Amino acid sequence: MRDIGSIYAQQTKRRLMVGCITALIGIPLVSCCLVLFSKAVFPALDSAVATGNTSNSMLVIIVVVLLVLAGLIGIPLMAVAVITLRRNRAFDVLFCPLGFTGSTYLLTGRCYKGHFAGREVSIFIYRGPTVEVRIKTRIKTSLQVMPKGSLPASTAGMFNRTPLVTNEPALGAYSIYPLDPAWTLKLLSDYQVLEAIQTLMTVGANWVILRRLEIQPGEMALYLNRSRQIIGNMLDLSAAPAWLSALANLAIIAENQADPEVTSQPINITSHQSRQKISRSLIYAIVFIVFVMPMCFIAIGVIAYLFVSL
């Protein structure tokens, strides 16, 4: 249950920090804008209207407002773009030499696709932070491996799920939930499987709060979710080659076993495609909120000023 406290503390600290940064930067900026409009823009417009030079008044308000708007909107967007580009380049340095092709995922995330040890691999890195390392297999059953005391393991009893009992000391720190217990026990009797599980569950990613290994019909995945880091968004994924090797070795051993008696149908993975569609719609929403709405307010303000002046 310690994961619940870690996640809550991490979220609370992050929200407080975001709120403080927003207040420290946003309040002075808004105050400066109000002072600028009240002390410079509106007096200039009043003077222009009084002299009948309305064309100059329109030019002044358009130029000033556009400059202020460009600063308020452009600087944060530029900062996000620079941080995202820097992070993506760091990930490219790690994954591209392994033969993967990178692409944008969920606006600020990253997706890598390619092959490793002759198997199709997909790696997703997105907000959370969340990392999914997926490798295709021919396995027709499922099982989950997660640390004892973690949030998923602590709540499993609520769904009538009982962990597998093993006599392997190397697995004493983990809760294992198989679909086919007999097949899983035979799999876990191989020392190479134990080494692969230890690598996937312990090597690298010291920042992660929630970690689990999952075998699904048709693929195998390592999940890393939530970070203990509050400042900084550069995830240490230098252990990715070791994870991929462990997943590939585990897949080979599992496929060479006798077919499991308890099987399930492959899961229709549509979550990533649906997330991509949502991210595309978010782009239009962001453009509307960031650009269209301010321009509408500016237009309404100009029209209202002209009516009041008349």
Residue 167: pLDDT band with limits 50, 70, 90: confident
Which pLDDT belongs to residue 108? 80
Query: Which pLDDT score, from 0 to 100, does residue 86 have?
Result: 87
Phi-psi region of 23 (alpha: psi -120 to 50; beta: other; left: phi over 0): alpha
Euclidean distance between CA atoms 189 and 180, whole angstroms: 15
Q: Return the residue matching tokens 């252990």.
A: 239
Mean pLDDT for 164-172 is 84
| 148 and 174 Cβ atoms separated by less than 8 Å | yes
Say what the pLDDT of residue 85 is: 87
Backbone conformation region of residue 62, classed left if phi is above 0, alpha if psi is from -120 to 50, else beta: alpha
Mean pLDDT (whole number) for 79-84: 80
Residue 222 pLDDT? 96
pLDDT band with cut points at 50, 70 and 90 for residue 183 = very high
Rounded-to-integer distance, Cα 15 and Cα 26, Å: 16
DSSP the chain: -HHHHHHHHHHHHHHHHHHHHHHHHHHHHHHHHHHHIIIIIHHHHHHHHHHT-HHHHHHHHHHHHHHHHHHHHHHHHHHHHHHHHHHHHHHHHHHGGGT-EEEEETTTEEEEEEEETTEEEEEEEETTTEEEEEEE----S-EEEEETTSHHHHHGGGGT--PPP---GGGTTEEEEESSHHHHHHHHTSHHHHHHHHHHHHSS-TTEEEEEEEEETTEEEEEEEEES-SS------TTHHHHHHHHHHHHHHHHHSPPPSS--PPP---HHHHHHHHHHHHHHHHHIIIIIHHHHHHHHHHHHHHHHH-
- Give residue 135's pLDDT: 95
Question: What pLDDT score does 219 carry?
Answer: 93
Angle, in degrees to the nearest 10, between helices 191-202 and 240-256: 150
**Residue 133 confidence class, pLDDT cut points 50, 70, 90:** very high
**Residue 267, φ and ψ in degrees, nearest 5:** -75, 130
What pLDDT is recorded for position 76?
72
Q: Which pLDDT value is given to residue 286?
A: 63
Q: Which of the pair, 258 or 16, is modelled with greater confidence?
A: 258
Token pair 């009948």 is at which residue? 52
Which amino acid does the sequence have at 246? Answer: A
Query: Is residue 200 within 8 Å of 248, Cβ to Cβ?
Result: no
How much is the average pLDDT of 85-104? 91
Picking from 274, 232, 305, the residue whose alpha carbon sits closest to that of residue 57 is 305
Mean pLDDT score of the chain: 78
Name the more confident of 90 and 73. 90
Task: Answer yes or no: is pLDDT of 192 > 80.
Answer: yes
Q: Is 270's pLDDT higher than 80? A: no
pLDDT of residue 16: 67
**pLDDT value, residue 45:** 61
> Is pLDDT of 241 > 60?
yes
Band the pLDDT of 149: cuts 50, 70, 90: confident
Widest CA span of the chain, in angstroms? 93
Assess contact for 138 and 259: CB atoms under 8 A. no
Residue 228: the pLDDT is 76
Residue 306 or residue 254, greater confidence: 254
Q: Quick: pLDDT tens for 51-76.
A: 665 555 566 666 666 676 666 667 77
